[in-house]
Structure formats: C-alpha cells, structure tokens
C-alpha cells in the first residue's frame, strides 16, 4: 500500500489527485503518525523530516517535489510493483507525433502533441531518468529527422516502424499514433546522432501547398524557405513571415 505523509499542502493535493485518477489504493497520515500496517511505499515531501533509518526495512521512501506530483506517483507505483528497467520513450513521428513513455514494460505516460512540442515533451520525460533511450520510428522522414536532430543530449535509436500501427476498432479513433509509439518503444533500433534527409519534390510541394493555405494572400513560400521548413529550421508560419518581409 502507498502511504502519503507530507505537510506540504500543494504536494499533498497533487499526489492525492494523481493517485485517485489512476485508481490506486492509498492512505494518508500526518508526518508524525505511525505507519499503518501493510505500508510498502511512503511518499513524502522534500521538507518533511523522515529518516529511512527509522522505518521498517521493507518500506520504500519516495521524496517528491510539489511541482512534479506525476513523477512522484510513477516512482511510487514502480516501487510498489518492484519494477526496475530503463526509461524508454517511443516516438511515432508526424505532424502530431505520438509519444509513449515506458518504465520497464509498463506504459507510464502518453502524449499526442504538435511537432513543435515533441522534443520538449521528450526532454521533460527523460530529464531525471538514469540512462534513458528515445526510439524514433523511421517513417514520416522529415518530421522524424527534426526530432532526431534536436535530441542531441540523449541516446536516440532509429527504429523500423513497419507494422507498429495497430488496427483500431470502434471508439479507438485517434489513438493509432500513441499505440504505435508504444510498439516503437519496445523495438531496439540503430543508434543515431543525426538524420540528414533531402526532401523530395513531392514533399516540398506539400509544404508549399500548406503555406498557400495558411497565407492571407493565397501565396506559397519559395523553394528555399520550403527546404528550411522541411529541415525543421522554420515553421510554416515563420517561413510565411520571412516571405512577406523578403
């Protein structure tokens, strides 16, 4: 059982809400109260005076910060399940990449975000993890290259994503990218430092067409700007701004 014992009001409400959202059995006590029978994980705040030496040897202490209750709950659940294992992030690239975070074999977080937010999302998820790995699918070449090239401070593997997108039954629409990311995370790939992609004429045309759709003058950006968008150097909106100023 997880026991929450903290005098930090913000942390208390944050972790309690996270635990309730996940349907986890837990209890709360005052920091000075004796531990209930069956305590396996004790979740406390950074300023709570708890000495592990005074606790039973089979109780794991998880110390949490008020601004990261989800991470604290994930650590508590991992300790409760006895999970070790590396943190692995799978990414199904695209204009809205699916991102799945695994601790061992358990999916602990999932995201479906715009491409512009993907790298920052991944960085936040691996920030405190020892020896994490990010596995990026080799499809959606241009978007995938953008993600690979910006993740220069973590181990990145390029994964053959053939067959990783599952069949989606009734009610599962929109989940395909996230489920593919889970499958990608479970496949070992080739370690890469960067990915250089020369955009095809068809890919450049798609970028130009999108710029025309987003332009208030119904004008497309030129090929040089389209190439910079393809490389991830510019967003379409930024390219349109340069096109107007040029």
- What is the CATH number for 110? 3.30.420.140
Stretch 78-100: mean pLDDT? 85
- Distance between CA atoms of residues 147 and 116, nearest Å: 9
- Distance between CA atoms of residues 111 and 93, nearest Å: 12
* 205, 232: one domain: yes
- Do the strands 87-92 and 133-137 form a parallel or antiparallel pair, or are they unpaired? parallel
Q: Where are the beta strands (DSSP E) in the chain?
A: 2-4, 26-28, 41-45, 60-64, 87-92, 98-103, 106-112, 133-137, 155-159, 190-191
* 97, 170: one domain: yes
Residue 240 has pLDDT above 80, yes or no: yes
* 127, 49: one domain: no
- Distance between CA atoms of residues 20 and 236, nearest Å: 41
Domain span including residue 32: 2-81
- Distance between CA atoms of residues 162 and 110, nearest Å: 21
- Distance between CA atoms of residues 49 and 54, nearest Å: 11
pTM, full prediction: 0.68
* 163, 208: one domain: no
Q: What is the pLDDT of residue 85?
A: 66
112-130 per-position pLDDT tens digit: 999 989 999 999 999 877 7
Token pair for 15: 């972790």
Which range among 21-25, 56-60, 106-110 shows the weakest confidence by mean pLDDT?
A: 56-60
* 185, 219: one domain: no
Stretch 41-54: mean pLDDT? 80
Residue 140 has pLDDT above 90, yes or no: no
> Which residues touch 160 (CB under 8 Å, ≥6 apart)?
138, 187, 189
Residue 134 lies in a domain: yes
Which of 27, 49, 81 delimits the end of a domain?
A: 81
* 168, 216: one domain: no
Task: Answer with the residue of higher pLDDT: 156 or 47.
Answer: 156
61: domain CATH number is 3.40.50
* 225, 155: one domain: no
Q: What is the pLDDT of residue 14?
A: 94
- Do the strands 26-28 and 41-45 form a parallel or antiparallel pair, or are they unpaired? unpaired
Band of pLDDT at residue 51, cut at 50, 70 and 90: low
CB 97 within 8 A of CB 181: yes
Residue 106 lies in a domain: yes
Residue 48 has pLDDT above 90, yes or no: no
Q: What is the pLDDT of residue 79?
A: 80
Long-range contacts formed by 161-167: CB under 8 A, 24+ apart: 161/92, 161/137, 161/187, 164/92, 164/137, 165/92
- Distance between CA atoms of residues 240 and 223, nearest Å: 12
Which of 81, 113, 146 delimits the end of a domain?
A: 81
* 184, 105: one domain: yes
């Amino acid at each position: 059982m997880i026991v929450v014992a903290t005098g930090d009001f913000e942390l208390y409400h944050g972790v309690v809400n996270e635990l309730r959202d996940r349907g986890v059995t837990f209890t709360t006590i005052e920091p000075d109260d004796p531990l209930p029978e069956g305590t396996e994980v004790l979740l406390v705040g950074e300023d709570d005076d708890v000495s592990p030496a005074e606790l039973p040897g089979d109780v794991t202490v998880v110390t949490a910060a008020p601004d990261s209750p989800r991470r604290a709950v994930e650590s508590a659940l991992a300790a409760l399940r006895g999970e070790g294992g590396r943190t692995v992030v799978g990414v199904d690239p695209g204009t809205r990449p699916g991102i799945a975070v695994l601790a061992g074999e358990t999916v602990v977080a999932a995201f479906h975000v715009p491409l512009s937010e993907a790298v920052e999302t991944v960085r936040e998820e691996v920030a405190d993890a020892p020896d994490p790995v990010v596995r990026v699918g080799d499809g959606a070449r241009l978007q995938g290259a953008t993600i690979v090239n910006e993740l220069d401070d973590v181990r990145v593997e390029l994964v053959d994503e053939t067959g990783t997108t599952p069949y989606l039954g009734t009610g599962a629409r929109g989940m395909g990218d996230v489920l593919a990311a889970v499958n990608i995370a479970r496949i070992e790939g080739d370690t890469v430092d960067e990915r250089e992609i020369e955009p095809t004429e068809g890919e450049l045309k798609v970028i130009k067409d999108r710029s025309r759709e987003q332009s208030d003058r119904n004008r497309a950006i030129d090929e040089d700007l389209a190439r910079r968008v393809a490389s991830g150097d510019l967003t379409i909106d930024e390219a349109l701004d340069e096109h107007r100023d040029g």
